[in-house]
A and B are shown apart, each in its own frame.
Chain A
Amino acid sequence: MRTFRLLLWLRWRLAMNATTGKSRWAMAALTTLLALAFAPLYVGAAIFSFTGGSNHGTGALTLVFGLAQLCILWVSLLAGALGRSFELDKLKRYPFRPFEVYGFNLLASFTEPVILMTLPSLVGVSLGVARHDGWLAGLTAAAGALLLLLITASALQLLLAILDDFLRREWMRYVAAFLFTGTFLAIQLGVRGSSRRLADQARQAGFDPAKLLKDIGVMFEHLPSVGAPAAVGGAPVSGPFGEPVLAFTASAVLVLVPLWLGSRVMARAVTRETLAGRVRPRAARATRGSFGLRWPGLTAPQRLLLAREWLYAQRTPALLYQAAIVPLSVVFVSVLGGARETGFDTILPMFIMTGTLASRNLALWSYDGPGIRTLFLMPFTPRDLVLSKNLSWLTSTFAEAGFTFAVLTALRPGRFLPMLPMLVTGFAAVTFTAAAVGTWVSIAHPMKFQERGFTRRSPGGVTGLLAYLVVLVVGAGVVLAVMAARSLTPDAHDGVMSFAVTSLLLAASAAIWWLAMDRHADELERRREKMIDVLAKTADA
């Protein structure tokens, strides 16, 4: 308890000291806004759960529990929202047991937004059960819900501990990347396969929502992580978990084994080499000629800086992972979509591609870490520094987009080829805007990269969210402009008109990006001290 109390106090102080009163108010306002924006989702789910509990009593538990767990797992893995409150590395010098730190992280993960958003449904179904079967049944259902959350959070924390351990070993990083992507894709495939099967069954039998929900509930019963806590909560579960003692034992095992295993994995991980040693020293090819890249139109300092960026990109696994995951996700989603032309087959890939733009360039200098100070000590102009960062990011983004467009076109030439000029120019227009926004955020709100896992690589908070929204709004603006132009043009000329509009927007966006370069350079000069302060700091909480 003493450790828990201390860690709680530490977490609180770190959070308070890291923010100003003004930013706390801004954050609170934005959180409220977001909570209201998402309210239809979780309030709707809560009403659905309450109604289910009221009408079917404990019979509704399995379905609600299953959907809640699926939602937590899916969102956590998709958004990379896995988080640890404390890394043991920073606490290992103090006499804390790894088990206690791990346990604290587990409980702290209950404050993650995705878990908070499932709470109304779990409370709702418990209240519904109470209304149907009495307060004792309601309380039992709530206990089952708590077990469900513990099991889910425990599984996520174990996955995080294993990932972190893998990432500390050079070659295992790629296994970790595979594991992470594989887990995410397996859930996608599982959900997709089940929903298809259920949809087919429903189609054959005539659509009956009640039966469909019952079938889904039965499917969840067979999942130990749902069936066991649901049975503890009083749900009528068939199979082995129908026995309350067995259900409780299974639930306890599902919480305690990952807890024990996870804390051991975490404790072992911190005894591995530190971050610096983690990058395996390898023979770097001694290049002939200049260190700089041969890139026409650039000055010698700019070519040098670009060469350095290129080497850094190659040697930073997280950057490589980022560069690969978006095209792979887009291609995967498209392949899964099959050959049907639904409109979504073009919208979804474009949404993923543009939606991920802003979140990836909000911390352009973060990978330089302490090296930022050396960069500022050398005779480079701020404009050289800004331009080289931007060219590096744009090159990588356009290379990924080029690969994605090529694969999509190869998969569905009839569908994509006619739209390709419009899609490419439209995407490029958004990309240049994202580059301008991202550069500003990277300078105004520098963030040191925490090289752990695949998560939390953007500044987040008000600035991160606003930057993200700006890019989405610009993306939506491009779509609306194209739609407006098409509605004013005879159908036969839709393609040409769309291309003309996106080309115009691309020219405007590229011009803004170019003109903003000098302002960004001035900003970099002005914020140099803050950047050094944030990025070159060796001790961080």
Chain B
Amino acid sequence: MADDSLAIQTHQLSRTFGGQLALDGLTLEVPEGSIFGFLGPNGAGKSTTINILTGLLAPSGGSARVLGFDVESQVLDIKRRIGVVPDGLHLFERLSGEEHLRFVGEAHGLSAAEARQRTGQLLEAMDLTADANKLVAGYSHGMRKKLALSCALIHDPRLLFLDEPFEGVDAVATRELRDLLQKLVATRRVTVFLTSHVLEVVERLCTHVGIIAKGRLAASGTLDELRRGGGGGSRSLEELFLDTVGAPRDSAGTGLSWLARERDAE
């Protein structure tokens, strides 16, 4: 049964790749209007989850609803209402930034005039106006990230999926992005579902956090709820995360005896 107050709802979601279980019965609820930080070690199933929720991957089992729509049978309805910044960005290299934005805007149903107007505004806001007519192939990583975010925003989505949005982004841009996301949630009641390894930013930005390990949801809730569940106190998100995924605290160089030895004088 779909719950209207939930932007994302999955039930026993699973996915295998060549017999290997990447998602193992994931049951997750993301409230509408929240900023949900989806954390987990590499290979835990974060990107697989995003790919299923955005209609790129078919689940092997279980069910998922995004904004009330089923991910398998109503995928176009979902795609019209969401914005995605995928890991790796994957933009159209041989379009200019301006063309790219107009293409994405019109593809999401905006009129030509509306798409053009919003393109200009987004380019301005992202400080890309001077490079608007350059091909994306010539953009730096930071510019690509801004363009990908603009593409995700141009059609005023109700739900934003951001896969590693802070990766390779400088401190100033991180701050700007954080402010923008908070503003979007406050004014447009957009739901944000993001993955990140930058736990400090997640701690400051997210209203809710989910931790996935080996394809299973290990913990989920508000930060306070997680702290209460993890023995209370004022533990940092990093400590909570490491305890939840069961990572050893000091494992650097384990088994690498040749690296642990001091170098002989040459």
Contacts and interface: CB of A to CB of B under 8 A. Distances in A.
B98 A286 contact: yes
A284 B133 contact: yes
B57 interface: yes
A106 to B, nearest CB: 32
Interface stretch (B76-84, B165-173, B224-232): B76-84
A412 interface: no
A301 B151 CA distance: 17
Interface in B42-90: 54-58, 76, 79-80, 84, 86, 88-90
A286 B133 contact: yes
Interface centre among B55, B84, B106, B151 (most CB of A within 10 A): B106
A380 to B, nearest CB: 7
B51 to A, nearest CB: 8
A279 B94 contact: yes
A280 B138 contact: yes
A478 to B, nearest CB: 36
A418 B185 CA distance: 70
Contacts of A536: 88, 90
A91 B226 CA distance: 47
A377 B103 CA distance: 13
Interface string B121-132: 000000000010
Contacts of A378: 79, 104, 107-108
Nearest to A290: B112
Given A378-B79, A379-B108, A538-B88, A279 B102 contact: no
9 contacts: A284-B133, A284-B135, A304-B103, A308-B103, A374-B90, A376-B56, A377-B55, A378-B79, A380-B107
Interface in B200-256: none
Contacts, number: 110
B54 to A, nearest CB: 6
Given A304-B107, A369-B93, A379-B80, 11 more contacts: A279-B135, A282-B134, A290-B112, A291-B99, A292-B106, A373-B86, A377-B54, A377-B56, A378-B79, A379-B108, A532-B56
Contact of B90 (A276, A308, A370, A529): A370
Contacts of B79: 377-379
B95 interface: yes
B182 interface: no
Contacts of B92: 308, 312, 368, 371, 374
Nearest to A277: B138
Contact of A529 (B58, B84, B104, B112): B58
A304 B86 CA distance: 22
Contacts of B109: 379
A490 B107 CA distance: 57
Contacts of B93: 276, 279, 369-371
B107 A284 contact: no
A385 to B, nearest CB: 11
A8 B127 CA distance: 49
Contact of A281 (B57, B102, B135): B135
A373 B163 CA distance: 14
Contacts of B95: 284, 308, 311-312
B162 interface: no
Contacts of A528: 56
Give the one of B58, B76, B98, B102 with max A CB within 10 A.
B102
Nearest to B95: A311
B107 A371 contact: no
Interface string A381-392: 100000000000
A96 to B, nearest CB: 23
B90 to A, nearest CB: 4
B27 interface: no
B108 A529 contact: no
B145 to A, nearest CB: 14
A21 to B, nearest CB: 15
A317 to B, nearest CB: 11
Q: Which 3 residue pairs of A and B lie closest in terms of their CB atoms, listed nearest first?
A: A281-B138, A281-B134, A284-B96
A290 B115 CA distance: 9
A371 B94 CA distance: 10
Given A377-B79, A379-B80, A300 B106 contact: yes
A1 interface: no
A277 B98 CA distance: 18
Interface in A267-282: 275-282
Contacts of B138: 276-277, 279-281
A214 interface: no
Nearest to B56: A376
B199 interface: no
A370 B137 contact: no
A308 B102 CA distance: 11
A304 B107 CA distance: 7
B2 interface: no
A286, A291, A536 pick with most chain B CB within 10 angstroms: A291
Interface in A10-64: none
Contacts of A307: 103
Contacts of A195: none
A315 B109 CA distance: 26
A446 to B, nearest CB: 15
B91 interface: yes
Interface string A294-338: 000000110010011001100110000000000000000000000
Contact of A315 (B58, B84, B107, B135): B135
A392 B86 CA distance: 27
A209 interface: no
B94 A377 contact: no
Interface string A58-75: 000000000000000000
Contacts of B133: 282-284, 286
A278 to B, nearest CB: 8
A289 interface: yes
Interface string A378-414: 1111000000000000000000000000000000000
Contacts of B108: 378-379
Contact of A284 (B57, B84, B99, B151): B99
B102 A291 contact: yes
A141 B138 CA distance: 54
Contacts of A300: 106
A379 B135 contact: no
A1 to B, nearest CB: 26
Contact of B76 (A276, A282, A283, A379): A379
Contacts of A281: 131, 134-135, 137-138
Nearest to B81: A379
